[in-house]
Amino acid sequence: MTISALSPPAKRMLWITLCALPLLAGGAAAYYRSWGFLPFAGGALLGTAVNAAKVFLLERTVNKLAAMESAAKAAGYARIQGLLRFLLTALALAGPAFANRWGLPIAVFWGAAAAALVYQLTVYSLKLTDKKR
């Protein structure tokens, strides 16, 4: 699936997610005022990549749900896809958390966690803006 094949709400989600990365990295650079912001920015990059993948998975899920005839099958499929997106986030957070034991700074985890929160904020902002339209 390409970006041009995404629906307008999914494109907006992806745009907001990608715009948050420079804001997170810039905030970390302003906080550290040195090259020490790079681990946080790397974690934010990891989290942003996971968020982009979750947008594509969500779009694919919505398209498949629209084509399903049985409500019971659709509900089960939606639950499984939600669990897969949750596990993807858990892996994106667990990797940097455990890698701290091997010498990576904990800032990598915090960058990934901040980017993971951006996805939730994107979903809520999408709900708020769609109510107004």
Residue 8 has pLDDT above 80, yes or no: yes
Three-state SS for 124? helix
d(CA 126, CA 111): 23
d(CA 99, CA 94): 8
Q: Which long-range contacts (CB under 8 A, 24 or more apart) does 119-128 make?
A: 119/17, 119/51, 119/54, 119/89, 122/13, 122/16, 122/17, 122/20, 122/51, 123/13, 125/16, 126/9, 126/12, 126/13
For residue 51, how many other CB atoms are within 10 A of its CB? 27
Residue 50 has pLDDT above 70, yes or no: yes
Query: In the chain, pLDDT over 90 holds for what percent of residues?
Result: 24
Average pLDDT over residues 58-73: 86
pLDDT of residue 74: 86
Q: pLDDT tens-digit profile of 10-42?
A: 888 889 999 989 998 898 889 888 888 888 898
pLDDT of residue 75: 87
Q: Which residue has the higher pLDDT, 2 or 96?
A: 96
pLDDT of residue 132: 60
Average pLDDT over residues 108-131: 86
pTM (2 d.p.):
0.84
